[in-house]
Structure 1
């Protein structure tokens, strides 16, 4: 089995810092280790730093060209890393030369992936409309949306800044451990043994370690 791996992050900053990439690579590694037919070979890896709403992505184009040429499967961590547009997903489903595999849904076929993409797009549309309806209702009640939004944004900015500062401090310990190949669970155990508490004063878990890595 041959694979062409595709990863994507949304902004230049994410591309430079690695935000989100480790999580994608982790999911892809889990798929290759536990779900792929063997033997397998990764014949190409491509990465874009671009919004998922944009169809024209140079590295994805190269990856798809290699897939069509070799008959390999295009492997992505999550369907949204490929695209957030169901129309784009559908166009790939119709391409008989493109085989698609999603690490987080290792057993899903093209039909199931198409349905998932459609449902995800409907959910995003519903959430957007629900937010607009809530804002209209608040405005009808006389709530000053601008001031409320500004206060909320400032509060959220302070929370995010605190979280980022904490993550930068912790990554000095977590980073070297991860580089040595330690699992997230083992790193959590090490932090607990060292007496390093989480930001809320609790004990560490693998999920919390993962969040710090993704934030940094």
Structure 2
């Protein structure tokens, strides 16, 4: 008869109290037992730690390993990272007992060692990639900040120039407006006088209004 010692782990007390993560682990273990295990099988012990996987000294794991060795049973975990994320820790554990991972039902101890090493490399790569992306974002933020400063200064200069030109042309527009002329009539008068807009174009009623509004502001 195939014999198993089940080990589960969650990282925080909140997860332990709420069952968050434990249900998923139990589901994976049940799927393994129902679909992949040799039959008949027997569960001879169940142990659970509420600790980080970085902690090597986990009392319930030690008890699970001792029982597995004593009864020549396999230590059954839902996922390899529930045992540990550290390849050296996993290698030491594999030497102490036979390990079975529910989510990798056909993997033997040698293959689990390889998977652990590859997973550690992947995490290291992801960490470096994340740091590089953050650095790029930081550099872009600096560049964008510099561009914003330049843009603001340019806009301020444009506004100052427009206001100065408005104050100049309003000396003509103001008396005409006070005399009761419409905006269109004032625009026609400016065009007849060959007074150009700030962009060198022809005057319209809307442009005349903008000058009056800018000076008033």
TM-score of the superposed pair, with normalisation by structure 1: 0.64
Please give the secondary structure, in 2, of the residue aligned with 1:68.
Answer: helix
Residue in structure 2 matched with residue 177 of structure 1 by the alignment = none
1:155-211 CA distances to partner (integer Å, 9 max, x unpaired)? xxxxxxxxxxxxxxxxxxxxxxxxxxxxxxxxxxxxxxxxxxxxxxxxxxxxxxxxx
RMSD: 1.3
Please give the secondary structure, in 2, of the residue aligned with 1:36.
Answer: coil
Residue in structure 1 matched with residue 53 of structure 2 by the alignment = 52
1:137-163 CA distances to partner (integer Å, 9 max, x unpaired)? 22222359xxxxxxxxxxxxxxxxxxx
1:93 Cα deviation from its structure 2 partner: 2.3
Q: Distance in 2 between matches of 1:125 and 1:92?
A: 22
Q: Distance in 2 between matches of 1:139 and 1:132?
A: 10
Residue in structure 2 matched with residue 149 of structure 1 by the alignment = none
1:108-127 → structure 2 map (5 Å cutoff): 108-127=107-126
Please give the secondary structure, in 1, of the residue aligned with 2:16.
Answer: helix
Residue in structure 1 matched with residue 14 of structure 2 by the alignment = 13
Q: Distance in 2 between matches of 1:51 and 1:140?
A: 34
Please give the secondary structure, in 1, of the residue aligned with 2:67.
Answer: helix
Residue in structure 2 matched with residue 100 of structure 1 by the alignment = 99
Q: Distance in 1 between matches of 2:12 and 2:141?
A: 37
Residue in structure 2 matched with residue 77 of structure 1 by the alignment = 78
Residue in structure 2 matched with residue 184 of structure 1 by the alignment = none
Q: How many residues align?
A: 142
Residue in structure 1 matched with residue 44 of structure 2 by the alignment = 43
Residue in structure 1 matched with residue 24 of structure 2 by the alignment = 23
Q: Distance in 2 between matches of 1:127 and 1:143?
A: 24
Structure 1: stretches of 5+ with no match in the other structure? 145-216
Please give the secondary structure, in 1, of the residue aligned with 2:39.
Answer: coil
Larger Rg: 2
Please give the secondary structure, in 2, of the residue aligned with 1:106.
Answer: coil
Q: Distance in 2 between matches of 1:136 and 1:11?
A: 31
Residue in structure 1 matched with residue 154 of structure 2 by the alignment = none
1:17-46 CA distances to partner (integer Å, 9 max, x unpaired)? 000111110110111111111111100000
Structure 2: stretches of 5+ with no match in the other structure? 144-217
**CA distance 1:143–1:81, shift in 2 (3 Å):** farther
**CA distance 1:4–1:143, shift in 2 (3 Å):** farther
Structure 1 segments of 4+ aligned residues over 6 angstroms from their partners: none
1:111 Cα deviation from its structure 2 partner: 1.1
1:1-216 → structure 2 map (5 Å cutoff): 1-95=2-96, 98-143=97-142
